[in-house]
Chains A and B, each alone.
Chain A
């Protein structure tokens, strides 16, 4: 097959014929991203709260998650594979570790940037510390939190494409199949949806983030 004679029609034709398989890869892809960042969210938000309250903890936690994030993704996945074996679980753990830093950092910064007078008002009207956290601090830092999730999700979508190297699923399979078979149609068929997914996620979460900006809220009228 000669790559330079490929047209967009060939690609669409290929994708149409293999729609079932590509959709399956796509949903595996999305599933791993959701699970990995979801777990990171569940662990990262409490860690972020901890960091916001205890500067000493913040130093340790943020440094640790920072180190995790600067590891090249391939290296991280391979190291995890040595420990956890082949499979999608390894990928999910990798994503989890990768997503921690943006989520923890943004939660922490979001909570810290709140004007102290809101917190004092909350204390003054008789809110318990938990009520202040849930009724005042979280609502007012939602936009930061969302921005952390958005960064984490977009990074995760990219990282998952190398999942097949450690035995994972997702659109990466199609890409690596294309590389191995020297079939650029298959490379495109995997890479383009992955790229579109990343862009769409960025736009949707970005819109949500703007909507959740509550510190200057307006009514409809």
Chain B
């Protein structure tokens, strides 16, 4: 466990980079330090491996003040991943991965076994990649190597300074997923610095939000989303991620449904049914009696199948309606049914089985678009 007590950092030019930081980073968790640039998040992280020393206050690792530990030794026992180009360009991938074990004077066999093991762990076969140089790998591959280099000597603590920020969005997502997967196995104490809120929400056990050298809010992603401490946090999270109130109350199907579904009486002939479908541009009709009581459904395929039989009516070809929702039920119930049975639409009926509306995939999307307006104009393709 890492604890910071009343830590201040004042530079010679008088810049007060950290103001009274009190922080606890729990063992086996990912703590994400986040904030706008210049907020002191990297500085805070670098206190842990003494790349930066506090002007006052103390930093404790498992109860021991880091100031009492030789910085070189301390750093060999803390994994460190930095932004994109942390790999040494003049060393092969294998040498890069094995650097900390080599500094710790492990024997060569053990180092080699460890390198191979780690490279397999992130899906880079050592036979292929071991003897290559960093410039021969893609950005995503390089940063995988950066991550396993930090794991090489099996440290308990790993510091990651915006490790994925220079990657393209797809590689970034993959590496985040991989980090989560690795963490489930390894349970390291990870301190992760980022300015990307999506990244923080995705990987963090605890988020520490900083601004101008101070901690603004600490909490789980859920707490921060639900109870942002102030306007700064709210703006930083971004309005679109904060759930609008209307979503907390789940809408009923009545708010979402199409109110006038296309219906036909059971006595209609097949040719009439087709004409009606053409007119209203639909591929199926709900069959209702004079009381609007739902009898069944016919699709254009069933009609065309039997089209030769002039005497038949839609009543003869219709299918029973297998799934419907009652008016007033929550939208989630309808969406669940649509999804589970791969339906294109779903009838909404009242308690006397009268058809009152229709939920379609389109109507759900339209509703979502209304309650969650895009913050920036969507790109038109």
Contact = CB atoms under 8 A, between A and B. Distances in A.
Interface of A: 115, 117-118, 120-128, 131, 135-136, 139-140, 214-219, 221
Contacts of A122: 88
Contacts of A217: 89-90, 133, 135
B86 A219 contact: no
Nearest to B132: A219
Contacts of A127: 72, 103
Q: What 10 pairs across the A-B complex have the smallest Cβ distances?
A: A126-B76, A124-B80, A214-B90, A126-B75, A121-B86, A217-B133, A139-B90, A215-B89, A219-B132, A216-B135
B285 interface: no
Given A125-B100, A125-B103, A131-B103, A140 B133 contact: no
Given A217-B135, A219-B92, A125 B85 contact: no
16 contacts: A117-B82, A118-B86, A120-B51, A120-B86, A124-B49, A124-B51, A125-B80, A125-B103, A126-B76, A128-B72, A131-B103, A214-B90, A215-B89, A217-B89, A218-B135, A219-B132
B136 interface: yes
A139 to B, nearest CB: 5
A36 to B, nearest CB: 30
Interface in B86-113: 86-90, 92, 99-100, 103
Contact of A123 (B75, B89, B136): B75
A77 B76 CA distance: 53
B88 A136 contact: yes
Contacts of A221: 131-132
B326 interface: no
A51 to B, nearest CB: 23
B73 interface: yes
Contacts of B103: 125-127, 131
A115 B85 contact: yes
A122 B102 CA distance: 13
A120 B83 CA distance: 11
Interface string B184-197: 00000000000000
A118 B82 CA distance: 10
A51 B15 CA distance: 28
Contacts of A219: 92, 131-133, 136
A120 B75 CA distance: 12
B149 interface: yes
Given A217-B135, A219-B132, A124 B89 contact: no
B89 A140 contact: yes
B135 A121 contact: no
A117 B136 CA distance: 19
A126 B100 contact: yes
Contacts of B87: 121
A124 B90 contact: no
Interface in B280-326: none
Contact of B85 (A118, A126, A218): A118
A209 to B, nearest CB: 15
B90 A125 contact: no
Contacts of A218: 133, 135-136
Which of A115, A135, A215 has the largest count of B CB atoms less than 10 A from its CB? A135
A120 B86 CA distance: 8
Nearest to B73: A126
Contact of B51 (A123, A128, A131, A136): A123
B93 to A, nearest CB: 9
A135 B90 CA distance: 9
A124 B83 CA distance: 12
Nearest to A220: B131
A121 B132 CA distance: 19
A125 B75 contact: yes
Contact of A121 (B73, B88, B133, B136): B88
A121 B82 contact: yes
Which of A123, A124, A127, A139 has the largest count of B CB atoms less than 10 A from its CB? A124
Contacts of A117: 82-83, 85-86
Nearest to B80: A124
B72 A126 contact: yes
A214 B89 contact: yes
Given A115-B85, A219-B92, A219-B133, 13 more contacts: A117-B83, A117-B85, A118-B89, A125-B75, A126-B74, A126-B76, A126-B77, A128-B72, A136-B88, A139-B90, A214-B90, A215-B90, A218-B136
A120 B133 CA distance: 19
A218 B134 CA distance: 8
A123 B83 CA distance: 14
